[in-house]
């Protein structure tokens, strides 16, 4: 499956790299949502309603960005380089 003929060790820097990249992506998605919540609050909505409005309007952007990122990272799985293949698989499922 995915051109993996045998199992092997995970490169030692991979978990550290993955934590950094996944944390960065999560913060990026959070900025989309919190920005929409703040806009709704500034325009006069109550705090609770601003959160609902922020999620309602920001969810499509975050979902689209996540799907695009998964597709791009899944494309790395076809690489012949083992490190790129591991990064692509890990980020696609994260």
Q: What is d(CA 34, CA 60) in angstroms, rounded to the nearest whole number?
A: 14
Note whether 41 and 56 are within 8 A (CB).
no
Mean pLDDT (whole number) for 69-85: 89
Strands of the chain, DSSP E: none
Question: What pLDDT is stored for residue 73 in this prediction?
Answer: 92
Residue 90, token pair as written in the block:
């890990």
Note whether 53 and 40 are within 8 A (CB).
yes
pLDDT tens for 12-59 read: 888 888 899 889 988 988 998 999 999 999 999 999 999 999 999 989
Residue 73, token pair as written in the block:
């990272």
Question: What pLDDT is stored for residue 2 in this prediction?
Answer: 61
Q: What is d(CA 6, CA 82) in angstroms, rounded to the nearest whole number?
A: 12
Phi, psi at 90, each rounded to 5°: -65, -45
């Amino acid at each position: 499956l995915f051109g993996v003929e045998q199992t092997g060790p995970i490169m030692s820097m991979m978990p550290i790299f993955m934590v950094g990249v996944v944390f960065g992506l999560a913060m990026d998605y959070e900025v989309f949502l919190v920005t929409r919540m703040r806009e709704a609050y500034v325009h006069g909505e109550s705090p609770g309603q601003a959160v609902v409005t922020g999620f309602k309007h920001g969810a499509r952007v975050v979902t689209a960005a996540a799907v695009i990122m998964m597709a791009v990272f899944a494309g790395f799985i076809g690489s012949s380089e083992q490190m790129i293949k591991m990064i692509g698989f890990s980020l696609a499922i994260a």
